[in-house]
Structure 1
Amino acid sequence: MSSIEADKPRKEISPLLKMALELGPLVVFFFANSRGEWLAREFPALTELGGPIFIATGLFMAATAIALTASWLLTRTLPMMPLISGVVVFVMGAFTLYLQNDTFIKIKPTIINSLFGIILLGGLLFGKSLLGYVFHTAFKLDEEGWRKLTIRWGIFFLVLAVLNEVVWRNFSTDFWVAFKVWGTMPITVLFTLSQMPIIMKHSLEQDNPK
């Protein structure tokens, strides 16, 4: 039975549900930080976590765990990037709450984006366009297309890491949280859309429209 189940194709979920699972924890983080005092009054147990940013961190960790669990139940698989992000969230969130130091949760995006950037660019040194392994089910590109996309995404992740460092070190916690949700996400969406020309140019499916 287990071998038969292992051979089954992974289940697909709707794009909207997938987006909700990915963005949901960030929205929870933003809401909990902006309404931290109200949450503490309504749910006194949350005061054990600390101030608004610590309440937000705790709820962010819980929302991330729920999102990963839901993804597993719906698709019977966990994509590598969300899984790595989730692990970093739990580790840095735990340090943030235990030491009551929000620096750890603030450098979380720096760690994740630097890790992704280094992995993608480092893979090219060994002749591996690792982005192709992640998105091969969504796009069918030739080798040159995957190489170019890998370079671009690797550099983009490193730019996000630097941007996060600039923001959290020079602005307030509330501004950093807002930028994390309403700044980083739109930038990522715009960058993703800007890659469509290269995807269309190197798509293998264009050679065989039928």
Structure 2
Amino acid sequence: MAERQINPLLKSALEIGPVLVFFVAYLALKDRVFTIGGEAYDGFIVVTAGFIPLMLACTGLLWKLTGHLSRMQVVTAVLIVVFGGLSVWLNDERFFKMKPTLIYLLFGTALGIGLLRGESWLRTVMEGLMPLRHEGWMILTKRFTAFFFGLAILNELVWRTMTTEAWVYFKTFGLTAAVFVFFLAQGSLFKRYGLEQDES
């Protein structure tokens, strides 16, 4: 089923809003400890517990409004439930911090498998956004594969060697900036292999 178009600001709010709410809530509660059922939970765990239903609600609303969710959105939602749930259940923030690593490893591996088959599975997901020739898709897919693996390694380095607060800043702003810079760096590829240029 084709994706229904909705207000771009609303779509962005549903996609990015939960992450920003998590960030703000963490800053407000990071130094507090909550005793629930006789067990002490720090602010990070409590905020994670609230983030899971918020993310699911926004994802569900996005699906209801557009009639479509990407594979990336579905996988992300599932991993948030699994790893966020483990962090809350076991009162161990490490599981939630590992979530981005696993997401990037899964996407990198999936794209790598497609490349081994001589296919660009990235094209299946993004062709409507960026019409490219086959050669362009293959090059972009190779770059995305390396990029995802690089982000997985970077996330591991940050959460294992830095404070929780530093990781939250990195997750909220650092990873977003990395994706933005990565796309900017592909400008020459889009110009060289774009279908519009071929047709002109």
Q: TM-score, normalised by structure 1?
A: 0.87
Match of 1:3 in 2: none
* CA apart distance, 1:164: 0.4
Structure 1 residue identity aligned to 2:191 = M
Q: Tell me which residue corresponds to 1:111.
A: 102
- CA-based RMSD of the aligned residues comes to 2.2
Aligned mates of 1:205, 1:168 — CA distance in 2: 42
Tell me the distance in 2 between the aligned counterparts of 1:112 and 1:123: 17
SS in 2 for 1:78: coil
Q: Where do 4+ consecutive residues of structure 1 move more than 4 Å?
A: 37-41
**Runs of 5+ unmatched residues, structure 2:** none
Percent of paired sites with the same residue? 37
CA distance in 2, matches of 1:134, 1:49: 43
Q: 2:123 aligns with which of 132, 143, 147?
A: 132
Aligned length: 199
Match of 2:190 among 191, 199, 204: 199
CA contact (8 A) 2:101 2:153 kept: yes
Is the partner of 1:50 in helix, strand or coil?
strand
* Alignment of structure 1 residues 42-81 onto 2, 5 Å: 50-81=41-72
Instruction: Report the equivalent of 1:25.
Output: 18
Tell whether the 8 Å contact from 2:14 to 2:62 is kept in structure 1 after alignment. Answer: yes
**Quick check: 2:33–2:41 contact (8 Å CA) kept in 1?**
no
Q: For 1:58 and 1:115, locate their aligned partners in 2 and report how far apart those are by CA, in whole Å.
A: 24
Indicate how the Cα distance of structure 1 residues 40 and 152 shifts in structure 2: closer, same or farther if over 3 A, else same: same
Distance 1:187 1:130 in 2: 22
Give yes or no for contact 1:123–1:130 (8 Å, CA) kept in 2: yes
Structure 1: 5+ residue runs without aligned partners?
1-5
- Report deviation, 1:109: 0.5
Deviation at 1:78, TM superposition (A): 0.9
Cα contact 1:32–1:39 (8 A) shared by 2? no
Match of residue 171 from structure 1: 162
Check the 8 A contact 2:31/2:42 in 1, yes or no. Answer: no
Report 1:141-152 matches (<5 A): 141-152=132-143
Residues 138-185 of structure 1, C-alpha deviations (whole Å, 9 max, x = no match):
121111000011011111011110000000011111110111112111
